[in-house]
Amino acid sequence: MDCEALKKYAALHPKPAGLTLQYGTAGFRTKAEQLDHVMFRMGLLAVLRSKAVVSTIGIMVTASHNPEEDNGVKLVDPLGEMLHPSWEEYATQLANAEDQELQKVITEICQKAAVNQHKDASVVIGRDTRPSSEKLSQSVIDGISVLGGQYHDYGLVTTPQLHYMVCCRNTQGQYGKATLEGYYEKLSKAFTELIKQSLSSGGSQRHLKIDCANGIGALKLSEMEPYFPKEVLIHLYNDGTKEKLNHLCGADFVKVHQKPPRGLDMKPNERCCSFDGDADRIVYYYKDATGDFHLIDGDKIATLISVFLKELLAKVGQTLKMAVVQTAYANGSSTRYLEETLKVPVHCVKTGVKHLHHKAQEFDVGVYFEANGHGTVLFSKAAETKIRQLAKEEKDDEKREAAKVLENMIDLINQTVGDAVSDMLVIEAILALKGLTVQQWDAIYTDLPNRLLKVQVADRRVIDTADAERRAVTPPGLQEKIDALVKKYKLSRAFVRPSGTEDVVRVYAEADAQENADALAHEVSLAVYHLAGGKGAPPQP
C-alpha cells in the first residue's frame, strides 16, 4: 500500500466533521453533497473485498427511489448478490474513520478479513442518472486506483444490470456476456422464444405503458426496444427529459399513494406499470371501466409467477421443490391463496431483500417478492441442470415443451437481484401465454383491506420482535395488547416493527373491511405510543 498516495488522495476527499453513516440493506444513502469521502472509501473497500475473495466486485452509485438530491452507494458481491454482512461492518468503519485513521482502519480490515494484499483486484462501476452520480463515481475510481485496483466503468446502467455484469464476469461468461448487448440479447431471446407461441396463435399487438420514474429505466428500455418482437409495443412515460427523478412518479410513489403517477394518462383496462428510480422494483396497475384505480403489487406478481411455474413443474413431472418467500407485510389473501388454493409452501422472513434471497436459496425453485415490487425467482443448480437436460433430451413431447418454457424462464429471470426490466418481461410473457387480461390477473384473489402507519418514538430499540417480526417481544404487555385488539375484527392481523433507519415504529394492520383495518391500525398505534415511549402528540384517527 502506497501510504503517501493514500494520504494525498484522502485529502482530496475529506470527511465532513461529525458525520456518521451506517451501511444498511440499501448501502449508504444520504444527501449527495455529504457522500464524496464515502465514495472514495468504498472504492478502497471494493479493492480489499476483491482481493479477499479473488473475484470482481461491483459498485453501484444510486439512491434508488429516494429524491433526486440524495445519492448512495452499494457494493455487489461476486455472484451478483448483496455485500456479505461481515463486510457491511467494515464499510461502516471505513466510512466513519477520521482522515488520519484511514490507513490504520484499512490495515485492521486486512488482518480481520485475511486480505492478501498481493492479489490483483478488479472492480466494475455503474451509476444512475442523478446529476451528482457522475462526479461521485469519479471519487470511487480514485479510491480503486490509489490501491492499485483494475476497474471497468459501465457508466449509466440500472442497478440489476450491474449485478448481472458482476455475475457474468465471475462465472467466466456462463451466466451471460458481461456487456449491455449481452444483457439485452439474453433477455430478449428468452422472451421472444416464450411469447412466439402466443403470437403465432393469432395474438394481436401487445401494448404496455411504462412509467420510468424519470430515471435510468427509460434510457435502458429505449436501448433495448429494438431487441423486442415487433408485436410488443412499449410506451415510455416520465422518461427523465422533463421532470425530476422519482417526483410524483415511480413504483414507490404508486404503491404508497395507491394512485397513478403524474404524466401517464390511463384509459380503462390498459396495462400500465411503474419502475423505481434505479429499475429494481416494479408494480402494475390499471383503471377499471368505472374509473377506479387497481394496484397489482409484489404479492400478486409473486402469485402470478407461482401459478405459472407450478403448472410447468407439474407437466415436467419432476419432484422439484418450489416455495414462495414473503415478509410479514405480504397481504393475508395472497398467503392464503398460495397455501390453500395453489398448495405451495409459503415461508415468512424478516423484512429486507437479503433475508428473502437467502431463504429462497433453500429450494429448487424459490419465488420471492416484497409487496413493494422488488423480487425475483431463484433456481437451484440441480434444478437448472435437470430442466436444461429435459429440454434437450426428453422424448415425451408435452414434457419436453414444458421443460423448454422453464428453460427460457430461467434465462429471462435475473436471478442475481430484483430487476424491473426482467420482471416486466416475465409478467408480459406469462399473461400472453395464459391469455390473461390485467383484470383477470387482478381477480386471482382480492386483497384484504390494510393500513400502514408510523408512530414517532424516543428510541426505536425499545421494540424487539420475533417470529419474522410478527410478534413484539418487548416492551412487556405490547403483544398481549395487540392480540386483544386483533380479536375484535374479522380476518384481521396486526404487527409492529422498528424502522431500520429512523426513530419510528411501523404499524401494519389488515381486516375484512377498510374501516376495520383503519381502526385496528389506529388502536395498535395508540398502544405503541403509550407502551413504547411515543413522542409528540398521540396518534390521531
Binding-site positions for substrate: 370-372, 497-501, 506
Instruction: Work out whether strand 70-76 and strand 56-61 pair parallel, antiparallel, or are unpaired.
Output: antiparallel
Distance of CA 484 to CAs 145, 204, 228, 476, 493, Å?
60, 54, 54, 14, 11
Task: Please name which of 355, 413, 357 lies closest in space to residue 384, comparing C-alpha atoms.
Answer: 413
The annotated binding site is made up of 64, 276, 278, 280, 370-372, 497-501, 506
175-210 residues labelled b (16+ CB within 10 A) or e (exposed): bbebebebbbebbbebbbbbbeebbeeeeeebebbb
Active site residue 274: no
The annotated binding site for Mg(2+) is made up of 64, 276, 278, 280
Alpha-carbon distance of 135 to 381, in angstroms, equals 40
CA angle 444, 446, 448 (to 5 degrees): 145
CA angle 354, 355, 360 (to 5 degrees): 100
Single out the catalytic residue among 50, 55, 64, 422: 64
Task: Please name which of 497, 475, 316 lies closest in space to residue 391, comparing C-alpha atoms.
Answer: 316
Dihedral (C-alpha) 210, 214, 219, 224: value to the nearest 10 degrees?
-10
Omega of the bond leading into 475 within 30 degrees of 0 (cis): yes
Strands (E), 328-426: 346-349, 365-369, 375-379
CA angle 215, 216, 220 (to 5 degrees): 135
Contact 525, 455 (CB under 8 A): yes
Phi and psi torsions of 211, nearest 5°: -90, 115
Residues in Cβ contact with 452 at an 8 Å cutoff, skipping those fewer than 6 apart: 329, 506, 507, 508, 521
Question: If residue 298 lies in a helix (H) or strand (E), which one and from where to where?
Answer: helix 298-316
Alpha-carbon distance of 349 to 466, in angstroms, equals 10
Residues in Cβ contact with 47 at an 8 Å cutoff, skipping those fewer than 6 apart: 121, 123, 143, 144, 147, 148, 149
Contact 249, 238 (CB under 8 A): yes
Question: If residue 98 lies in a helix (H) or strand (E), which one and from where to where?
Answer: none
* Cell output for 418: 430484483
Phi and psi torsions of 289, nearest 5°: -60, -25
Distance of CA 119 to CAs 45, 137, 141, Å?
14, 24, 19
Alpha-carbon distance of 459 to 6, in angstroms, equals 39
Task: Please name which of 131, 121, 145, 134 lies closest in space to residue 5, comparing C-alpha atoms.
Answer: 145
HSE of 350, CA atoms in CB hemisphere, 13 A: 13
Alpha-carbon distance of 244 to 254, in angstroms, equals 16
The residues annotated with a catalytic role in the active site are 64
